[in-house]
Amino acid sequence: DAGITQSPRYKITETGRQVTLMCHQTWSHSYMFWYRQDLGHGLRLIYYSAAADITDKGEVPDGYVVSRSKTENFPLTLESATRSQTSVYFCASRGDTGYEQYFGPGTRLTVT
Amino acid sequence: GENVEQHPSTLSVQEGDSAVIKCTYSDSASNYFPWYKQELGKRPQLIIDIRSNVGEKKDQRIAVTLNKTAKHFSLHITETQPEDSAVYFCAASWGTYKYIFGTGTRLKVLA
């Protein structure tokens, strides 16, 4: 579990501000994912990446941007935060073999 | 679209009793079915998983069964203990990135 970390763990920001959530993994996993978790919705995929410089949209990508210049990092940016983006954000990674996903500790984001 | 339905949303059992959580998925291409346990304020932790070529898998007090024909799978916890209290999520997966999660079951084990 210590192999995947997120920062910050808590963030409060104002509507309209840009905010970036960081995700770092030390396993050299090819696949990385961003989810948001809201009551009544479970976990919903925002973006995923199959390798450095390869990213694609998930179920709820609107308002988010990702990049992956290095295998170990997968930052998620909210370009202009809205209150509806208040949520808990989880990063996850998966190796090339097997299907198991491993989750980071999460970032609780509040948009005021 | 793809969907995973999970029931019940809350479940209370007496310590020592069994708990069963059920999920139904929509896409017949799903071939991997993990179960996660999430304690309050913590990350989801994989507790058991099953692939589509297996009908049942057991790990100590936890078991998962899969019925591909009916497109449903279930988590069984026997001899429940207070530390089993948490939210449990099922998921159905196919391909390299498709993971659709259920909405979670809050399990309370009463001492």
Summarised one tens digit per residue, pLDDT across range A11-58 is 999 999 999 999 999 999 999 999 999 987 889 999 999 999 999 999
Percent of chain A with pLDDT over 90: 88
A 10 A CB-CB count for A72 gives 17
Strand B45-51 with B98-101, pairing: unpaired
Question: Cα dist. B45→A7, A57, B38, B90 in Å?
Answer: 19, 24, 6, 11
User: Residue A2: what pLDDT?
Assistant: 63
Q: Which residues contact B105 (CB under 8 A, 6 or more apart)?
A: B6, B7, B8, B9, B10, B11, B21, B87, B88, B89
Chain B neighbors of A103, CB-CB under 8 A:
43-45
Tell me which residue in A33, A43, A99 faces B32 most closely, judged by beta carbons. Answer: A99
pLDDT per residue, tens digit, chain B (111 aa), is 688 999 999 999 999 999 999 999 998 889 999 999 999 999 999 999 999 888 999 999 999 999 999 999 999 999 999 999 999 999 999 877 789 999 999 999 999
Which element (helix H / strand E) includes A35?
strand A31-38
CB contact under 8 A, A100 and B49: yes
Tell me which residue in A33, A48, A103 faces B43 most closely, judged by beta carbons. Answer: A103
Residue A98 has pLDDT above 90, yes or no: no
Query: φ and ψ at A83, to 5 degrees?
Result: -60, -30
